[in-house]
A and B are shown apart, each in its own frame.
Chain A
Amino acid sequence: MQSQMKESGPLLEVENLSASTENLPILKGVSLTVYPGEIHAIMGRNGCGKSTLSKIIAGHPSYNITNGEIKFSGENINSLGPEERAQSGIFLGFQYPIEIPGVSNLEFLRVSTNARRKFLNKEELDTFDFEELVKEKLELVKMDHAFLSRSVNQGFSGGEKKRNEILQMALLEPKIAILDETDSGLDIDALRIVASGIKKISNAQTGIILITHYQRLLDEIKPNYVHVMSDGQIIKTGGSDLALELEKKGYEWTDNFIKET
Chain B
Amino acid sequence: MVNENLVTDVVKEPYKYGFVTDIETEKIAKGLNEDIIRLISQKKEEPQYLLDFRLKAFKKWQKMDEPDWAGLGYKQIDYQDIIYYSAPKQKDKISSLDEVDPKLLETFDKLGIPLTEQKKLTNVAVDAVFDSVSIATTFREELAEHGVIFCSISEAVKNHSDLIEKYLGTVVPASDNYFAALNSAVFSDGSFVYIPKGVTCPMDLSSYFRINSGDSGQFERTLIIAEESSSVSYLEGCTAPMFDTNTLHAAVVELIALDDASIKYSTVQNWYAGDEEGVGGIFNFVTKRGKCLGKRSKISWSQVETGSAITWKYPSCLLLGEESVGEFYSVALTNNLQQADTGTKMIHVGPKTKSTIVSKGISAGNSINSYRGLVKMGTKSAGSRNYSQCDSMLIGDQASANTFPYIKSQQPNSEIEHEASTCRISEDQLFYLQSRGIEFEEAVSMMVSGFCKDVFNQLPMEFAAEADKLLALKLEGSVG
A positions within 8 Å CB-CB of B: 58-62, 81-83, 85-87, 92, 94, 97-98, 100-104, 107-108, 111-112, 114-116, 119, 127, 151, 168, 172
A58 to B450, CA, bound (A): 25
On chain B, the residues within 8 Å of A61 by CB distance are 427, 431
Q: Which residue of A lies closest to B432 (CB)?
A: A98
On whether the beta carbons of A82 and B435 are closer than 8 Å, the reply is yes
On chain A, the residues within 8 Å of B6 by CB distance are 107
Contact-size category for B: 20 to 34
A189 to B229, CA, bound (A): 58
Tell me, rounded to whole Å, the shortest Cβ–Cβ distance linking A149 to chain B. 11
Tell me, rounded to whole Å, the shortest Cβ–Cβ distance linking A97 to chain B. 7
On whether the beta carbons of A86 and B450 are closer than 8 Å, the reply is no
The reply to whether the CB of B90 lies closer than 8 angstroms to some CB of chain A is no
On chain A, the residues within 8 Å of B428 by CB distance are 98
On chain A, the residues within 8 Å of B73 by CB distance are none
A97 to B8, CA, bound (A): 24
A108 to B434, CA, bound (A): 11
The reply to whether the CB of B71 lies closer than 8 angstroms to some CB of chain A is no
Tell me, rounded to whole Å, the shortest Cβ–Cβ distance linking A115 to chain B. 3
Name the one of B4, B440, B450 contacting A83, with C-beta atoms under 8 angstroms.
B440
On whether the beta carbons of A102 and B447 are closer than 8 Å, the reply is yes
The reply to whether the CB of B302 lies closer than 8 angstroms to some CB of chain A is no
A102 to B448, CA, bound (A): 9
Residue from B6, B426, B429, B434 having most chain A Cβ neighbours under 10 A: B434
User: What are 6 A-B contacts with C-beta separation under 8 Å?
Assistant: A86-B436, A92-B435, A101-B450, A103-B446, A107-B3, A172-B437
Q: Which 10 A-B pairs have the closest CB atoms?
A: A102-B450, A115-B437, A112-B436, A86-B437, A98-B432, A103-B450, A82-B434, A87-B437, A83-B434, A82-B435
Assuming the contacts A83-B434, A86-B437, A172-B436, asked whether A98 and B442 have C-beta atoms less than 8 A apart, the reply is: no
Assuming the contacts A61-B431, A108-B446, asked whether A103 and B3 have C-beta atoms less than 8 A apart, the reply is: yes
The reply to whether the CB of B439 lies closer than 8 angstroms to some CB of chain A is yes
Assuming the contacts A111-B8, A111-B446, asked whether A101 and B451 have C-beta atoms less than 8 A apart, the reply is: yes
Q: Which residue of B lies closest to A55 (CB)?
A: B431
Could you give, for residues 430-466 of chain B, a 1 whenever the CB lies within 8 Å of some chain A CB and a 0 otherwise? 0111111111101000110111110000000000000
On whether the beta carbons of A103 and B8 are closer than 8 Å, the reply is no
A97 to B435, CA, bound (A): 11
Tell me, rounded to whole Å, the shortest Cβ–Cβ distance linking B362 to chain A. 12
Given contacts A104-B450, A108-B436, could you give 15 more A-B pairs where the C-beta distance is less than 8 Å? A59-B434, A59-B435, A61-B431, A82-B435, A83-B438, A92-B435, A100-B429, A102-B453, A107-B4, A108-B446, A111-B438, A112-B433, A112-B436, A115-B436, A172-B437
Residue from B3, B426, B429, B433 having most chain A Cβ neighbours under 10 A: B433
On whether the beta carbons of A100 and B437 are closer than 8 Å, the reply is no
A83 to B430, CA, bound (A): 10
On whether the beta carbons of A112 and B438 are closer than 8 Å, the reply is yes
A85 to B429, CA, bound (A): 17
On chain B, the residues within 8 Å of A107 by CB distance are 3-4, 6, 446
On whether the beta carbons of B431 and A60 are closer than 8 Å, the reply is yes
Assuming the contacts A111-B446, A151-B450, asked whether A62 and B436 have C-beta atoms less than 8 A apart, the reply is: no
Could you give, for residues 403-446 of chain B, a 1 whenever the CB lies within 8 Å of some chain A CB and a 0 otherwise? 00000000000000000000000111101111111111010001
Tell me, rounded to whole Å, the shortest Cβ–Cβ distance linking B434 to chain A. 4
On chain A, the residues within 8 Å of B446 by CB distance are 100, 103, 107-108, 111
On chain B, the residues within 8 Å of A111 by CB distance are 7-8, 438, 442, 446
Tell me, rounded to whole Å, the shortest Cβ–Cβ distance linking B60 to chain A. 45
Assuming the contacts A102-B450, A103-B446, A103-B449, asked whether A115 and B4 have C-beta atoms less than 8 A apart, the reply is: no
Tell me, rounded to whole Å, the shortest Cβ–Cβ distance linking B456 to chain A. 10
A151 to B449, CA, bound (A): 12
Q: Which residue of B lies closest to A116 (CB)?
A: B437
Assuming the contacts A102-B451, A103-B449, A104-B3, asked whether A81 and B434 have C-beta atoms less than 8 A apart, the reply is: yes
On whether the beta carbons of A100 and B438 are closer than 8 Å, the reply is no
Residue from A59, A87, A98 having most chain B Cβ neighbours under 10 A: A98
Name the one of A62, A103, A127 contacting B447, with C-beta atoms under 8 angstroms.
A103
On chain B, the residues within 8 Å of A97 by CB distance are 432
A98 to B432, CA, bound (A): 7
Tell me, rounded to whole Å, the shortest Cβ–Cβ distance linking B392 to chain A. 14
A36 to B438, CA, bound (A): 25
Q: Which residue of B lies closest to A89 (CB)?
A: B437
Assuming the contacts A61-B427, A83-B440, A107-B3, asked whether A100 and B434 have C-beta atoms less than 8 A apart, the reply is: no
On chain B, the residues within 8 Å of A112 by CB distance are 433, 436-438
Assuming the contacts A102-B447, A102-B449, A103-B3, asked whether A83 and B429 have C-beta atoms less than 8 A apart, the reply is: no
A58 to B451, CA, bound (A): 27
Assuming the contacts A58-B435, A86-B435, asked whether A81 and B4 have C-beta atoms less than 8 A apart, the reply is: no
Residue from A60, A103, A104, A112 having most chain B Cβ neighbours under 10 A: A103
Residue from A61, A100, A104, A172 having most chain B Cβ neighbours under 10 A: A100
Q: Which residue of B lies closest to A94 (CB)?
A: B432
Q: Which residue of A lies closest to B5 (CB)?
A: A127
Q: Which residue of A lies closest to B7 (CB)?
A: A111
Q: Which residue of B lies closest to A96 (CB)?
A: B428
A83 to B431, CA, bound (A): 9
A168 to B429, CA, bound (A): 16
On chain A, the residues within 8 Å of B8 by CB distance are 111, 114
On whether the beta carbons of A100 and B435 are closer than 8 Å, the reply is no
Q: Which residue of B lies closest to A81 (CB)?
A: B434
On whether the beta carbons of B436 and A100 are closer than 8 Å, the reply is no
Tell me, rounded to whole Å, the shortest Cβ–Cβ distance linking A120 to chain B. 11
A83 to B437, CA, bound (A): 4
A119 to B436, CA, bound (A): 12
Q: Which residue of B lies closest to A104 (CB)?
A: B3
On chain B, the residues within 8 Å of A119 by CB distance are 437
Tell me, rounded to whole Å, the shortest Cβ–Cβ distance linking B333 to chain A. 15
Q: Which residue of B lies closest to A62 (CB)?
A: B427
Q: Which residue of B lies closest to A92 (CB)?
A: B435
On chain B, the residues within 8 Å of A116 by CB distance are 437
A98 to B7, CA, bound (A): 21
Tell me, rounded to whole Å, the shortest Cβ–Cβ distance linking A128 to chain B. 11
